[in-house]
Structure 1
Amino acid sequence: MSEQEIALSPTRPYLARAIYEWICDNQLTPYLLVDATQPNTTVPVQYVKDGQIVLNIAPHAVHQFHMSNDAITFSARFGGVSQNLYVPLAAVMGVYARENGQGLFFDPNEYDNISEEHNQEQNTISSSEPEPEKKKPSLRILD
């Protein structure tokens, strides 16, 4: 198989988790730089400036923090009001320490090809014939 045939997953979720852990292990404050204009991004819009928002994701500042390969989810307080946030990994622009700015900033085009491939897959699925209805499983007692 050539390199073009192998579809590799993006490195961003793995690197973001590693940098987040490194920042926390060094007792620094992890900040998340987010492109709030990306689809399906749920952040408090009143704090968005120039299409971006910086979020404090320190363990003491957030609740129910989860970083998967697809998104970062957590709840946090803004102006005293708890809000649930959803940040797709494609919207993550960087993870860095507030105190010294060390961290990692990502290639903004990393997900361009992936979203195109996903759209092509969705078009292929929707244009193909509908799947036949499957029979429900059943049990039968044999003597």
Structure 2
Amino acid sequence: MDISVVLVIAFVVISTFLPALITGLDKYRVKRAIYKLPSEKEEVREFQLAYKRILQDRHIPHLLIDANHKQVVVPSDYVKNGEVTLNVSPSAIHGFELICDCFVFMTRRGNNNYQVRVPIEAIKALYAFETGEGIKYARYL
């Protein structure tokens, strides 16, 4: 087969299917934009901003956590109806850090210290105790 014949066939095929392919990709991009869930980095950034805003307003930040999540580590006496609400103000916790997409910190109840481990996907909400304002994650609505 001659190279010019191959080029003509390739041109016909490309010119026939390329517009449909591009249109299909555009529809795919639109669908992804509509249904796109925030990435974990976006969720962490959103969490940090909400946490700072709550503290700046001189409120007490609380986390609402799905206690049934397999990676959640909290004292069992904190759990009620499959949920845990924790005061995460700087005076209530220490050693607050993000390790492998989990928030890890120490908290105290009575005379006992507890290590708490909360994966990002187990956080249902972060809110100000006084007003109830904050962020609620769509996956739990």
State the TM-score, normalizing by the size of structure 2.
0.69
Partner of 1:9: 39
Q: Which one has a bigger Cα radius of gyration?
A: 2
Moved over 3 A (4+): 1-4
Q: Distance in 1 between matches of 2:91 and 2:132?
A: 20
Partner of 1:21: 52
Task: Give the structure with the larger helix fraction.
Answer: 2
Partner of 1:59: 90
Paired residue type of 2:54: I
**Contact preservation (8 Å) 2:106, 2:113:** yes
Paired residue type of 2:65: V
Q: Distance in 1 between matches of 2:73 and 2:90?
A: 19
Q: CA deviation at 1:98?
A: 0.4
Q: Deviations over 1:95-129 (max 9, x none)?
A: 0000111101101269xxxxxxxxxxxxxxxxxxx
Q: Distance in 1 between matches of 2:72 and 2:124?
A: 13
Partner of 1:98: 129
1:73-112 equivalent positions in 2, closer than 5 A: 73-108=104-139
- The sequence identity of aligned pairs, in percent, is 29
CA RMSD of aligned residues (A): 2.3
Aligned length: 109
Q: Which runs of 5+ in 1 are unaligned?
A: 111-143
